[in-house]
Structure 1
Amino acid sequence: MPLPLSRELAQRVIDQVAPTLEFNINVMDPAGRIIASTDPARIDGFHAVARAVALGEPGIVHDGGSPTERAGVNLPLRLEGGIVGVLGVTGPPERVAPLAQVLVMTIVLLLEREREMDEAARRDAADRELLARLVSGELTGRKIEASLAAGLPELPPPWRLQAILAPGGTDSATAAEDVPPPRAPHRRARFGGAWWILTGGRGTGGEQEPADAPAGAAILDGGPCTTGGELAGSAQALGALAAAPRLLPAPGASGRLRLDELAAELSVACLPPATAAALAGRVAPLRAEHLHTLQAFAAAGGSVSETARELFLHRNTAMQRLDRIRQLTGLDPRIPAEAQTLHLAAIASRRGEPGDPSAPSTMGNMHSSYD
């Protein structure tokens, strides 16, 4: 059963086709009531001929035989196998009949396009609601599995949730056309400064295909999840990280940041603001080159030689920086337990607070090169 033809849609269609015509055009609903017209005075009037057409007449050409009828042509508007309305064109039948046929085809095409756009909008809204509830933690476990099995398209496990963040975490910097939809069955939506893409099943090679991102963006990759519980945990973790983009390291050439490599950043993201600020205070005396050295030292697994090579420093210079860090903070980065505290504190120092002009505004701000 096709959806009813609304007044707004009928009038919008008439307004699109009428400016180039010299004849009056009316659209009637199946009850014969005029719902749109080039003559506003006729709206809401009853059209007996249109009513007959809606009841099954293939189309009526009449010469205005009664005082209430005007000469013209009335043809059914068929959509999805049913009559949703009647088109009437007022004028000499021999002149308006060919025009009416063309107008019917044009209006039906416009109606079909409008319906497709409305349906796409409904699907987009459903995807956004599903993914937002998933990221916020409102959907968990079996509820997730049921929702993904019942939706369009159905998403079989394993699932993979990915968030594409624009540079700086700004929502406006990533346009819809910049993020092509994946080939696999998927749901996707844009909210919270990110594009969220959830895929299901496996690709042709037996593995899930990663999402593509525009230049300068970062992809937070939750990895494969085989149960609703795993997906719930992955989604909430990605949500916490996407809400704190300043904490994220700069992605590599692939632009991808894997969730299982972001445990420290996730830990800081989940801290209360006061706790994170206190932790960041541990490294407040350090200069930028000290923070950069800390980061390189952690990435090098505690190797001074590798840190010096990464920073293009002499080994003795790297040692001096580590000594200076110990002097300024009271924590020695060469002691594993104290190194962990320093690492978390350095990440917390990137957190800042909204509106703080001194806070880094882009992901991986500490990845600038220093001597």
Structure 2
Amino acid sequence: MEEHEPIRLSSDLAQKVVDTIAPTINRHVNIMNFHGTIIASSDQTRIGSHHESSLEAIRDNRIVDVDRADVEAGTQPGVNAPLMLNEQLCGVVGVTGAPHEVRPLANLIALTVQLLLAQEREHGRSNRRETEARDLLSALLAGITDTELIARRLAAHRLRAPWCLELWIPHEPQPDLRQQHAIDGQRTSWVYLSGGYWRLRTSFASSAAASVAPRDKYLGSSHAANAAQLLSEAEVLRVLSRHPRLVPGRDSRVMWSPEVAVAIARTPERNLDSMAELAASVNAEQARTLLVIASANSMLEAAEFLHIHRNTLVQRIDRVSQLTGIDIRHSAQFLRLQHSIYASIALGRLHIF
């Protein structure tokens, strides 16, 4: 039996439907796409976040009640009902509230949303491309999509390998990013998901790095030659995006270690406190000095980057050794201290990047 790809919902159209129906029922309403990403909501702060319970409604094609709020899973008490368009499951509509109160409305609300979507579904090319980009990026960041489906989505965009995934977290709002449309065969449009802007481009298309402001956070993945590698690169950036303090700004990239940052980002938060204890007595200047040393080819290079005399650098190292008991000449000890510094950064106790 041939597998049909889900109909892609336009976020603009979905938001129009939410804005129409939410005031009528006096409840918060969310619409999630096929990958469980909230693409429209009466609570604007939830747009772009992942909604775990909607995946259950999609998987089982049934109404799912949520009795308790789960901040980590991105859910609130309510009811989630599958959305059907042209007899295809395309997403989920969620209504917040006590399930016993809103469940009687669930089928009616889902039917109303389906009718509105069917009547007002947009066919403009640019809107379709933005929706396709969101769907592709949602699939990559959800980490649950098989490589064959990713390959088909890439082919639909006519994006040929190798690819690079970009994450941009502006220090100030950047409405201009949304206006940078896709270029056929080169890149998707920017899509806002999980607290940052995401874009997929081919290796020959220009990077956004040159446009990044000094205080903006930006990461570009390594070039991926196939869909499996692209999913792997997406998983790394997705993990880091959950800890934006660990993502470097343009001017701090030189002292940033992707390996250590990813390791800390994958560490359960309950373990970060104990990891950060070793660096508890280290201030921001000392921490920055240590990270520069770790990335430099020599002590002289580190001193030049920090614009200090080599003797001053040695004095700082000696002081850190007195405070922590760590001799950075021993690589294992030094690496442990680096992990502690990154844990402190992740917890917001040190501000380096």
The two structures have a TM-score, normalised by structure 2, of 0.57
Aligned to 1:324: 319
> Aligned-pair distance for 1:226?
1.1
The structure-2 alpha-carbon separation of the partners of 1:319 and 1:132, relative to structure 1 and needing over 3 Å to count, comes to same
Q: CA deviation at 1:331?
A: 1.5
Correspondence for 2:284: 288
Aligned-partner Cα distance in 2 for 1:256–1:179: 27
Partner of 2:147: 141
The residue number in structure 1 matching 2:21 is none
CA distance in 2, matches of 1:256, 1:178: 25
Matches for 1:130-169 after TM superposition, within 5 Å: 130-149=136-155, 151=156, 153-167=157-171
Distance apart, 1:121 and its partner CA: 3.8
The whole-number CA distance in structure 2 between the counterparts of 1:120 and 1:340 is 48
Give, in whole Å, the separation in 2 of the partners of 1:233 and 1:257: 24
Aligned-pair distance for 1:333? 1.4
Does structure 1 residue 247 correspond to structure 2 residue 272? Answer: no
1:359 Cα deviation after fit = 4.2
Would you say the 8 A contact 2:272–2:343 is kept in 1?
yes
> Which residue number in structure 1 is paired with residue 198 of structure 2?
196
How far residue 137 of structure 1 moved from its aligned partner, in angstroms, is 0.5
Please say if residues 244 and 351 of structure 1, whose CA atoms lie closer than 8 Å, have aligned partners that are also in contact: yes
- Kindly provide the amino acid, as one letter, of the partner of residue 343 in structure 1: Q
Shift of 1:256: 7.6
Structure 1 residues 129-138 or 311-320, which shifts more?
Answer: 311-320
Aligned match of 1:270: 266
Question: Any idea what SS the aligned residue of 1:234 has?
Answer: helix
| Cα offsets for 1:77-104 (capped at 9, x unmatched) | xxxxxxxxxxxxxxxxxxxxxxxxxxxx
SS of structure 2 residue aligned to 1:209: coil
Tell me the alpha carbon deviations over residues 1-46 of structure 1, each in whole angstroms, 9 at most, x when there is no partner: xxxxxxxxxxxxxxxxxxxxxxxxxxxxxxxxxxxxxxxxxxxxxx
Whole-angstrom CA distance in 2 between matches of 1:342 and 1:129? 40
CA contact (8 A) 1:178 1:214 kept: no
What SS does structure 1 have at the residue aligned with 2:222? strand
Conserved? CA contact 1:220–1:257, under 8 Å = no
Per-residue deviation, residues 147-200 of structure 1 (Å, max 9, x unmatched): 322x3x332222221111112xx7xx1214476346443323211122211124
Whole-angstrom CA distance in 2 between matches of 1:325 and 1:258: 18
Post-superposition offset of 1:282: 0.9
2 CA distance for matches of 1:304 and 1:123?
A: 50
* C-alpha RMSD of matched pairs (Å): 3.0
Of 209, 212, 217, which residue of structure 1 is paired with 2:206? 209
CA distance in 2, matches of 1:335, 1:179: 50
Listed one character per residue, the Cα deviations across residues 219-261 of structure 1 (whole Å, up to 9, x for unaligned) are: 3111221111100000111111122111123324xx98999x6
Given the superposition, is the C-alpha separation of residues 154 and 130 from structure 1 closer, same or farther in structure 2, using an over 3 Å criterion?
same
Paired amino acid for 2:286: H
Task: Indicate which of 314, 336, 339 corresponds to 1:341.
Answer: 336
Q: 2:186 aligns to what?
A: 185
Partner of 2:51: none
C-alpha change, 1:148 and 1:290, in structure 2 (3 Å) is same
Contact kept in structure 2, 1:160 and 1:222, CA below 8 Å: yes
Distance between the aligned counterparts of 1:330 and 1:219, measured in 2?
34
Q: Which residue of 1 aligns with 2:306?
A: 311
Q: Unmatched 5+ residue regions in structure 1? A: 1-113, 353-357
Q: CA deviation at 1:349?
A: 0.9
Q: Given residue 209 of structure 1, which amino acid in structure 2 is its aligned partner?
A: S
Shift of 1:119: 5.5
CA contact (8 A) 1:179 1:214 kept: no
User: Which residue matches 2:61?
Assistant: none
Structure 1 residue 118: Cα displacement? 5.5
Distance 1:245 1:359 in 2: 14
Deviation at 1:115, TM superposition (A): 8.0
**Partner of residue 175, structure 1:** 175
Q: Could you state the TM-score of these two structures normalised by the residue count of structure 1?
A: 0.55
CA distance in 2, matches of 1:336, 1:134: 36
Specify every segment of 5 or more residues in structure 2 that has no aligned partner in the other structure, as ranges: 1-119
* Whole-angstrom CA distance in 1 between matches of 2:145 and 2:232: 10
User: SS state of the match for residue 342, structure 1?
Assistant: helix
Distance in 2 (CA, whole Å) between partners of 1:258 and 1:144 is 34
Partner letter of residue 222 of structure 1?
A: S
Deviates more, 1:233-242 or 1:156-165: 156-165
Q: Given the superposition, is the C-alpha separation of residues 292 and 156 from structure 1 closer, same or farther in structure 2, using an over 3 Å criterion?
A: closer
1:258 and 1:116 mapped to 2: Cα distance?
A: 46
Q: Tell me if the contact between 1:135 and 1:235 (Cα under 8 Å) persists in the aligned partners.
A: yes
* 8 A Cα contact 2:186 2:205, kept in partner: no
Which runs of structure 2 are paired with 1:62-141 in the superposition (5 Å)?
120-141=126-147
Q: Is the 8 A contact 1:163 1:238 kept in 2?
A: yes
The amino acid across from 1:180 in the alignment is Q
- CA contact under 8 A between 1:219 and 1:257: conserved in structure 2? no
Rg bigger for which structure?
1
Aligned to 2:221, the other structure's residue is in SS state strand
Give the counterpart letter for 2:151 in structure 1.
E
Mark the CA change 1:193 to 1:258 in structure 2 (over 3 Å): closer, same or farther.
farther
